[in-house]
Amino acid sequence: MKKFLTWLAAILLAAGLGIVVQAPASAAPYCGLTWGSLMKTEGPMTGAAVTNVRTGQHYCFDRLVVDLGSGPAAGYSVRYVGQVIQDGSGKVVPTRGGARLQIVVKAPAYDNNGQPTYTPTDQNELSNVSGYQTFRQVVWAGSFEGQTTMGLGVRARLPFRVFTLDGPDSGHRLVIDVAHYW
């Protein structure tokens, strides 16, 4: 009995001194995003052509990927706009969402012979984003004079980042991530 009371006293003393620490509760990962919502732009035009547009969902953001063929990574300009404007004509492209990103990829969606390298099945829905937390619609705004424009309707003006990745093979990818929250 004496040993038991000694152990009990030691445990209570340790708990009082903070030596015994409770295991942390499991919590959702912290996103810690510091991207901002101002225009992001980089690089010159490239000969690599747009070959595909696709989207994905992540824990902290929704992602849009523009696949490019062989050649150097394309330059880009991505910014929030009041309306998405079609290349060449200046026509407004209706885009769902509380805010709109205009994405200009400094690469054509056609080859050197003028043949399309990417032809969207539905210019009003480049990718099905129903059920996404942030994305509302991905629209086609054209490819004109060596650059391709798309619109991305989002829930609200949220932080975003833009970067390029190499591959697969000799191609490249332009990636736009839009956060779920500020």
Where does the pLDDT of residue 4 fall: very low under 50, low under 70, confident under 90, or very high at 90 and above?
A: low
Report how far residue 165's alpha carbon sits from residue 129's, in angstroms, rounded to the nearest whole number: 22
Full-model pTM: 0.82
Position 167 pLDDT exceeds 80: yes
Answer yes or no: is pLDDT of 172 > 80.
Answer: yes
Q: Quick one: fold of 40-179?
A: Immunoglobulin-like (2.60.40)
List pLDDT tens digits, range 39-98: 999 988 887 999 999 999 999 999 999 999 988 778 999 999 999 999 888 999 999 999
**Stretch among 41-50, 120-129, 141-150, 151-160 having the lowest mean pLDDT:** 41-50
Residue 6 has pLDDT above 70, yes or no: no
| Confidence at 21, pLDDT banded by 50, 70, 90 | very low
Give the start-to-end residue ranges of the domains of the chain.
40-179
pLDDT of residue 117: 96
